[in-house]
Structure formats: structure tokens, C-alpha cells
Amino acid sequence: MMLRAAVLGHPISHSKSPALHRAAYARLGLDIAYDAVDLTVPELPEFLAAVRADGSWRGLSVTMPLKAAMAAEVDSVRGVARQLGVVNTVVFEAAELTAGQAGAARLVGYNTDVAGIVNAIRYAGVGPRPSAAILGGGGTAAAAVAALQELGAPEAAVYVRDVSRAAEARAAATAVGLPLRVLELSAAAPAIASADVVVSTLPPRAADGLAGQLAASGRSTAGVLLDAAYDPWPSDIAAAWAAGGGTVVPGLEMLLYQAVEQVRLFTGHDGPLPAEVIDVMCDAVGAPRRVF
């Protein structure tokens, strides 16, 4: 039987997750089809109802705008996803037999975005106790809050267009114990230029105005910018950051690191994935090979 997995989101056509996952499963010799499914929040319950009883499903990758909604749809949530209330990974676990009949699979939620952000920033060489800022306040920002806490940041500033709409980031900060300031995005340029780490969780093009402010200011940017948006690339803010002398980590790095964890969960692999599997995942999206 052909096994199945998919990435869910809206829009989703730009996603590189299919390339990453397909390369991994091919190298592992597993017959797992991985597709991209365009899905909105209102459509999510019906989709999950349809796949629960299908024994071929092994996992779902979850992207915007579904991460918070998915946390309410799964049967249980594990790890840091429980603290954050944000799920980007769903694993189908076989249900116990009842009266001789196989039940629908249990859906278990995880968050691998945190590991993706932590590893991508560590790979860039960030030191201990970095000053930190986050652009955007949604589901990925919540993961960024947890990642910065793990990286040793003493506090973080979150910049959003509307300070009343950063509930997910605020909740994450409370859950992991990271002091958080929520500020207006319009005031971000001078502050982020001096930060050791900046994580942009804004959608593609949403940081273009900020990039223009950075470029016009002529300020140096000595820190590390992780831009979670990877299409188009380079983004305007990545280009402005690099022009100021800072280090840019493309969102593709974060995507790669979190996908490695997803593949491990979807396949039930015990321990780290073999290096050759990670190599073909890197090759599939044009990322440099690295040691995990």
C-alpha cells in the first residue's frame, strides 16, 4: 500500500516541503507519497475527518494559516507544542483494535519549527545571551519565542503592525518564561539594526517597507537575521541586512532543519537521520550540505 503524507496551508504552491520529504523517503527506500494540499482554516476539520480513517496516512506538515487551528483539531499535543498551542507537525498513530476492528488513527501534534529555528541560528554562530527581536506575532513567532529562550536570550522584542494582535507570541512568552515587549512594526528599523538576532516571521513581501527604512538609514547590521520567508529570495529585508554587513540565514535553512525532524517522526526513525539522507534533502532544495 502506498503510504501518504502532505504539507497543508494556504497558499501552498510555493512550498519546498515536497522536494525535501520526497528526497528523504526515496533515499530511505520508503514508498511514501508526499503532496501539497491548499487548505484554509474553515476547511481543516472536514479534511481531517476524511483522512483519519485512512490507514495510509503517516504525517502532515502544517504551515500558515493553520498552525494554531491544528492544535485544537489533534487528539493530543506533545513537547513544546503543548506549551505554545501551535502545531506544525501531525503524526498519525495507529489506534488500538476495538472488538476486532481497526479504529481511526490518533492524530498527535508536535512543533518542529522551534528546533528548526534553534539549529539554523546556531549554525550561523550566534553567541550566548543574544539580544533578540522578532518581526510578526503569529504561529511562527510563537516558535521563535521558544527558540530564543532556548538560545539563552534574556528577553525579546516582538514587532507587529497591530500590538493588540500578538496573542500567540504573548502566550508563548508566558509559557516559556521569556520577558517580551510587543511594539509597533513601524518603529522596528533602528532597534533591530543593533540586535544580535532578528527572526522575521512575516509573509513574503510584508517586510519590504522595513527593508527600505533600513537601507535608507545607512545603519550597520552586525547581527544575524533569519528570514522565515524563502520565496522570493533574496527578500528585500535580507538584501538590506546583508548590505549593512549582517549575516543572513535564509528561511530555507529553518525549513530544512524542521523537515529533518518531521521525516524522523513520520517514519518512526529511532535516533538521528543518516547523514546521506540529510545530504539528499539539502541537494533537493539547493542548500549546502552540513553536519547535523
State the DSSP string of the chain. --EEEEEEESS-TT--HHHHHHHHHHHHT--EEEEEEE--TTTHHHHHHHHHT-TTEEEEEE-TTSHHHHHTTSSEE-THHHHHT--SEEEEEPPPEETTEEPPPEEEEE--HHHHHHHHHHHTT--SS--EEEE--SHHHHHHHHHHHHTT-S-EEEEESSTTS-HHHHHHHHHHT--EEEEEGGGHHHHHHT-SEEEE-PPTTTTHHHHHHHHHHT----SEEEES--SSSS-HHHHHHHHTT-EEEEHHHHHHHHHHHHHHHHHT--SSPPHHHHHHHHHHHTPPP---
Full pLDDT tens readout for the chain, 292 residues: 789 999 999 999 989 999 999 999 999 999 999 999 999 999 999 999 999 989 899 999 999 999 999 999 999 999 999 999 999 999 999 865 444 445 678 999 999 999 999 999 998 999 999 999 999 998 899 999 999 999 999 999 999 999 998 999 999 999 999 999 999 999 999 999 999 999 999 998 999 999 999 999 999 998 999 999 888 899 999 999 999 999 999 999 999 999 999 999 999 999 999 999 999 999 999 988 876 6
Q: Which of 67, 113, 115, 135 is catalytic?
A: 67
**67 labelled catalytic:** yes
* Contact assessment for residue 169 and residue 201, using Cβ atoms and an 8 Å cutoff: no
The pLDDT of residue 102 is 54
Can you tell me the distance from the alpha carbon of 125 to that of 140, in angstroms, rounded to the nearest whole number?
Answer: 22
